[in-house]
Amino acid sequence: MIQFFVEDVDFDTNTLSSVPTWLSSIVQSYQQSILEINYIFCSDEYLLSINQEYLSHDFYTDIITFDNRDDTTQAIESDIFISIDRVTENAERLDTPFLSELLRVLVHGLLHILGFSDHSDEEKNEMRSLENRYLELYFNLFHTL
């Protein structure tokens, strides 16, 4: 089950009705299943406080992903926090539509949960390639800009 929540920001999640189907299909392509994924859309300040409290980082970020599985749980259980402020600013800076940038961040967090990392340049390139592939899939199946 994929759910959307909003904290400390004005954001309409109704525009994302096709997103759970898209994300679920990605998870299934890796032969994994979902117990629960909660996407929490929030402000920069809200996410900064999470970054400080749980990761001891004192900087803004667009996403923080928590894998809540324990050793006995195989199905994905996660909380993924996304700053709508960061996504908006990044979309403007990159001159890309807000929806494209939001979807990129959504799938980026999911890829982390699926085991992908982005610490090295090679890993970053692989993740970016996967993000692009899944964005293309989304827009081919569900939406056009």
| 19-33, 59-73, 84-98: range with lowest mean pLDDT | 59-73
- pLDDT score of 143: 60
The answer for residues whose C-beta is within 8 angstroms of residue 138's C-beta and 6 or more apart is 18, 19, 22, 103
- pLDDT score of 141: 85
- pLDDT score of 144: 53
| CATH architecture type of domain 2-141 | 3-Layer(aba) Sandwich (3.40)
- Over residues 27-36, the mean pLDDT reads 94
| 23-32, 46-55, 127-136: range with lowest mean pLDDT | 46-55
Its pTM stands at: 0.91
CB burial of residue 6 (10 Å; 0-12, 13-18, 19+): middle
- pLDDT score of 35: 94
- pLDDT score of 107: 97
Domain ranges of the chain: 2-141
Question: Can you read off the two tokens belonging to residue 55?
Answer: 């990761």
Residue percentage of the chain with pLDDT more than 90: 81
How big is the chain, counted in residues?
A: 145
